[in-house]
A and B are shown apart, each in its own frame.
Chain A
Amino acid sequence: MRYSNKIRISLTLLLLWSGGLVSCGADSDKNHSPTSHFQKSNSGKLGPTINVIADNGNELESQLREIMNSPNLPENVVVQLPAGEFKLTESIKIHKPGVHLKGVGKGLLTIDDELDIPEAPATVLDFSLQHDLAAGGSGAEGILIMADDVVIEGVAVLNTVGDGIKAGGVKNLVIKNTRVEWTGPIKESNGGYGLYPVNADQVKLLNCFVRGASDAGIYVGQSNNILVEGNLVVENVAGIEIENSTNAWVRNNVARQNTGGILVFDMPNIQVGTPDDPGIQGRNVKVTQNKIIENNTRNFAAPYNIVAITPPGTGVLIMANDEVEVSGNSIEGNKSMAVAIVSYYMVDPTVNDQLGLSTYDAVPESIYVHDNTYLDNGLEPQPSSSTEDIAEQVSELFNELGYKMPTILYDGIGESIAAEPFSPERRICVQEGPEVVVGELYSESPVTPMPVYDSKRLDCQHAPLTVDVNW
């Protein structure tokens, strides 16, 4: 079924979103895990509540400074923010473990002006003033989390100069029913990431809405044990990106009108590391039951950020990562291709000649794409920028052979440079309906493209991946 009717899409999204409002993330847990987030994350109970009362951003800011830095903050304290719109100049920094920062209600969709959505009570933290040097303030993020067991819930973080909500080096993080948005038309100067846990362990990002990120709406990097569920990501460069991470499950999200819907990347110098800082190789990533729809927005990332290579019209892009399963997703109306499985060599053929990177595993292995539904993908491949037009070039290669762009594209470089065929467990496998065409680009040589339309090399199966999200 194609979501071509605008009202239909909006209503669907609204339903999904209001589901988030009501459930506060608990329903999804009932479905998929035996325990709620808090029973384990915060020793089974919430601490006392501090009600913050403030009439304006200045008051809110100074109170949050006092509260968040108090040496006597109760354990598992709930910091309840008031409803209203607050203009802030500096990042909210959380460095005490167990803080539960809670807004009133949730951010609402603003993506469709035609829909008359009633304003619910909401805590809106507007960071527009961070752009104004004369306003002072410090930090580029909206909320910066530096402690374990933190919960962020029901706040809207708008227009930060940098990332929306960043968490560095933390354990057991939950962000839910939260909205991060760069309002107004999308632009290059928007912050990079909406939700941005990095170097984290045990991350749940649930029922959030992110729009306008100039890199990724939801980005989880260099982390382990990840659940990204029930989120709506719209008009970001990457809707959701999992990078150099292990044991991640991305499920039941809607990625719509991004440049690329869902990306799974393994970057060179993160994977390789240094002698005193071992690298992290991404593996065991499941992408299931997502709606990945019409991700045709122009690429507005700053050049040389890796997402800048993403062609508009990309549904799912797996680059260099091993052990990825993509199944049960609805992938529709993505103009360049539904699914691409490529090596980093597509971006930089010399990557392993570069200083210190000779051991980088640039090719994807053990990939399993199966049982997704596809509609109207690859109909009009798009250039990523004025200088990068990988999708268009690839499309032309297939056109010259008299074919359209395949629904699923595999670059094949990994296998064409391998000394011998991939063993069964390393293979790239696709099991889809007969109408779904798989194209392979470098079928024989890593240097000269020799496109194969309807490649049979990917006709194999893997066992489904197991990702435990019950921590």
Chain B
Amino acid sequence: MSLILNIRYCLLLVSAGCFFLSGCGADDDSSAIDIVKASCNWAAQSEKINWPALLELDCPKLSDYGLFSKMDGKTLSAHSKGIKYELKEALFTDHAIKDRFIFLPEDSQVELDSSVPLLMSELGVQYPIGTVITKTFSFNQVDGVQRIIETRLLIRRKDGWVGRPYVWNDEGSEAELKYGGRANIDITFVTPDNNIETIKYDVPQSSECQQCHKQDDRLMPIGPSRLRLLSTEPKLSDGAINPLLSKSIFRLNGNKVNLASVPVSERSDDPSIEARLYLDVNCAHCHNPSGFAKNTKLFLESWRPLNMAIGLCKTPIAAGVGTGGLKWVVDPGKPEASILWYRMNATSNATKMPEIGRTLVHERGVELVYDWIASLDSGLCVKN
């Protein structure tokens, strides 16, 4: 039997709740009887975070969750439960400004386990059920006004993490859930180096959450992974204390720990080579044995020793024109002969890396990697 639906008609009814977006969790398992009946109608109680909805429902508006106390189009202030955080190195997304928060349920802890090898694995850092990680993307426009584009939610629900993209309206007063993201938003903005750039920005669709966040069969956070948490500086870029680390929310190997009081050098085995951390953050979510690019056999986690897995003397597997006619992913001593450098420097869809989330070349990242490759001993590879 065939249920024929006219999608065009359907799309007209999206906001009213067509079958494929009607959502709001009607089908969810609601066997947990002690949970308050979840609802997206939260305006009346806006002083609190809407935890029941976060756990069960995909609400149509970001404000339905009550995560942010102020949404006036310029600034996004988190509810008091939100912990702002920064990372030592971040994924480059065309110079987008990213505001990051973690929201943890009352009295819950984040468990860090340093006995687990530093794989891209949820085992190394376990967030409690109910955790919400938000990342808001905005750009500094030429007129000096910050334009807010999207807020991505990563929510730890009972059965695992889910990713939900919310796209902001032009006024910046509300963001709506868009499972399909939004393609080709024209943005002209000022870079940190005061260059003016114009791009077509893509709010990723849910499927693209998977492309980066899915490790083996599970969706999980990438940014605040154990490695990144442990290598995060105690201070924010503006000099303020990084509140994430100073909160007493972490347990390391079962013991409470104040990460801010422990120097980075003592809590992390992160390499001192900035380029390796850059590659880890920008590439290793796909390029690891559990990630989407596992077939390439190019694994760019920063903990790996200097060998073929990180590209040294490694011929491409399935790069097609992406090789740029070059032989090795990393040709030690010769950045310009290295596929890694070539693809970071590319902007064509056919050749650029990362494949999604970037249309511009990140000069700083390219320089870091250039210098690293140049510093490697050319004798590491056998030339034939």
Contacts and interface: CB of A to CB of B under 8 A. Distances in A.
Contact of B323 (A67, A268, A305): A305
Given A70-B179, A189-B321, A354 B207 contact: no
A270 B349 contact: no
Contact of A62 (B119, B180, B294, B317): B180
B268 interface: no
B174 interface: no
Given A136-B200, A169-B292, A304-B325, A67 B349 contact: no
Contact of B183 (A65, A161, A348): A65
A193 interface: yes
Interface in B61-77: none
Given A66-B21, A221-B295, A215 B318 contact: yes
A199 B205 contact: no
Dominant secondary structure of chain A at its interface with chain B: loop
B347 interface: yes
A51 B320 contact: no
Interface residues of A, number: 77
Contacts of A401: none
A137 B183 contact: yes
B320 A192 contact: yes
Contacts of B6: 51, 53
A190 B321 CA distance: 8
Interface in B1-60: 1-8, 11, 14, 19-23, 27, 58
A168 B295 contact: yes
Contacts of B1: 48
A274 B299 contact: yes
Contacts of A89: 183-184
Contact of A302 (B181, B308, B325): B325
Interface stretch (A90-98, A254-262, A432-440, A456-464): A90-98
Contacts of B324: 302
Given A350-B382, A354-B381, A68 B207 contact: yes
Contacts of B350: 130-131, 140, 161-162, 189, 191
B319 interface: yes
A139 B8 contact: no
A62 B182 CA distance: 9
A355 B19 CA distance: 55
A348 B384 contact: yes
Contacts of A354: 308, 313, 381-382
A131 B347 CA distance: 11
A376 B104 CA distance: 73
Contacts of A189: 321, 350
A303 B297 contact: no
Given A146-B207, A192-B320, A305-B320, A69 B382 contact: no
A22 interface: no
6 closest A-B pairs by beta carbon, nearest first, are A192-B320, A136-B200, A65-B180, A48-B3, A70-B20, A277-B289
13 contacts: A48-B3, A48-B5, A66-B20, A69-B207, A138-B183, A146-B207, A188-B321, A189-B321, A192-B322, A304-B325, A305-B319, A354-B382, A356-B309
